[in-house]
């Protein structure tokens, strides 16, 4: 039986990733919603039967989980990527799905730029040097001035990175079949095919979502097109790169190096060769993080939940076709 004070139940199934604040509980309570933060367990199906909203981050929302939902009207991800939810099953069930896309634009573009600079200056190699005397015999070190940055995807993060890179004297080209040349031109960016980006860039930075079509977008054939002096940067999704092919290409000196914040399997296995290469910089999927970005993320999530529970459509609805399946 539902308490009048708790007309709705909202569950956060990834509390270790993001725990909500006192003000979030209070805001939800103001509309008669109770927030529960609980990890996924074997008996989660019983809990799911009674929830109105699911908040998730890294947990995979499968069709099996969705089948257990009896009254859920909304699922929202604390983040951008939507590769860990079965959107089709949610749509068929009449459940609206949303994510948060505008909370870490500057943080992620900063991180990508950090990778570019760190790779250029070979930071990892020199960070472990015992003596400055060995620098002169440690191979080529360059400058990013007048170098070409190739972007794959031109969303908000890529646009932010393009602005920053151009301020540092880089030329920027981009492959994004969904963006018109005039828009790219307004950012001082030249439109190019994926093949041309791979062939002509000194740094290639990935900024596209992970889908069935983009899985292993950068594989063996694509790496063979790249300069052997080029660096591959990924702050988007690990599955965009064929990791085995990348490791092989790095070992064979087909590429100069890489800067990676995301991986095919996370957390990264301790024996993954990428961790031990002096031309590869790895960070633990935290490009999105800053105190400001996390607070903005939580604000947006709670606002969207309140919006839906008040009978409205979320601002960033990912499955618009679901509206046909929702009983008005």
Q: Domain containing 83 — which CATH number?
A: 3.40.50.720
The β-bridge partners of 231 are 203, 257
pLDDT in tens, 33-70: 999 998 876 667 778 889 999 999 999 999 999 999 99
Assess whether 263 and 141 both reside in one domain. yes
Q: Please identify every stretch of the chain with a pLDDT value under 70, giving residue numbers as ranges.
A: 1-5, 41-43, 128-139, 327-328
Domain annotation covers residue 85: yes
Is 180 an active-site residue? no
C-alpha torsion 249→255→257→258, nearest 10: -70
The tens digit of pLDDT for each residue in 83-106 reads 999 999 999 999 999 999 889 999
What is the residue range of 201's domain? Answer: 105-282
Integer angstrom CA distances of residue 194 from 150, 156, 177 = 9, 19, 9
Separation of first and last alpha carbons in the chain: 25
Mark whether 111 is an active-site residue: no
Domain count, the chain: 2
Q: Is residue 2, in this structure, part of any structural domain at all?
A: no
Sheet of strand 171-175, all strands in order from the earlier edge strand to the far edge: 190-191, 171-175, 148-152, 203-206, 231-234, 257-260, 280-282
Of the residues 26, 102, 224, 266, which is catalytic? 266
123 shares its domain with 269: yes
Rounded Cα gap, residues 48 and 65, in angstroms: 8
53 and 168: one domain? no
pTM of the model: 0.90
> Is 194 within a domain?
yes
Same-domain check for residues 160 and 253: yes
Q: Catalytic one among 159, 243, 285, 304? A: 285
Pick the catalytic residue from 237, 251, 320, 321: 237
């Amino acid at each position: 039986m539902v308490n009048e004070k708790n007309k709705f139940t909202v569950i956060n199934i990834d509390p270790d990733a993001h725990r909500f604040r006192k003000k979030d509980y209070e805001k939800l309570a103001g509309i008669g919603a109770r927030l529960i933060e609980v990890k996924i367990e074997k008996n989660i199906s019983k809990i799911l039967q009674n929830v109105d909203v699911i908040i998730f981050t890294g947990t995979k929302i499968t069709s099996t989980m969705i089948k257990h939902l009896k009254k859920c009207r909304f699922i929202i991800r604390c983040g951008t990527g939507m590769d860990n939810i079965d959107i089709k099953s949610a749509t068929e069930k009449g459940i609206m799905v949303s994510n948060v896309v505008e909370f870490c634009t500057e943080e992620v573009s900063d991180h990508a730029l950090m990778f570019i600079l760190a790779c250029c200056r070979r930071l990892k190699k020199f960070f472990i040097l015992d003596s400055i005397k060995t620098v002169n015999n440690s191979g080529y070190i360059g400058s990013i001035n007048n170098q070409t940055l190739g972007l794959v995807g031109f969303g908000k993060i890529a646009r932010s990175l393009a602005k920053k890179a151009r301020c540092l004297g880089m030329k920027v080209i981009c492959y994004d079949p969904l963006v018109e040349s005039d828009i790219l031109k307004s950012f001082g960016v030249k439109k190019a095919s994926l093949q041309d980006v791979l062939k002509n860039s000194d740094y290639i930075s990935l900024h596209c979502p992970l889908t069935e079509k983009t899985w292993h977008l950068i594989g063996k054939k694509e790496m063979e097109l790249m300069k052997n002096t080029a660096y591959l940067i990924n702050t988007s999704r690990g599955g965009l790169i064929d990791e085995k092919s990348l490791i092989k290409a790095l070992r064979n000196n087909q590429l100069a190096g890489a800067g990676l914040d995301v991986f095919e399997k996370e957390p990264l296995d301790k024996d993954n060769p990428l961790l031990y290469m002096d031309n590869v910089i790895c960070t633990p999927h935290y490009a999105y993080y800053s105190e400001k970005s996390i607070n903005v993320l939580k604000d947006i999530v709670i606002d969207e939940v309140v919006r839906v529970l008040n009978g409205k459509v979320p601002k960033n609805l990912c499955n618009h076709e679901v509206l046909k399946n929702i009983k008005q």
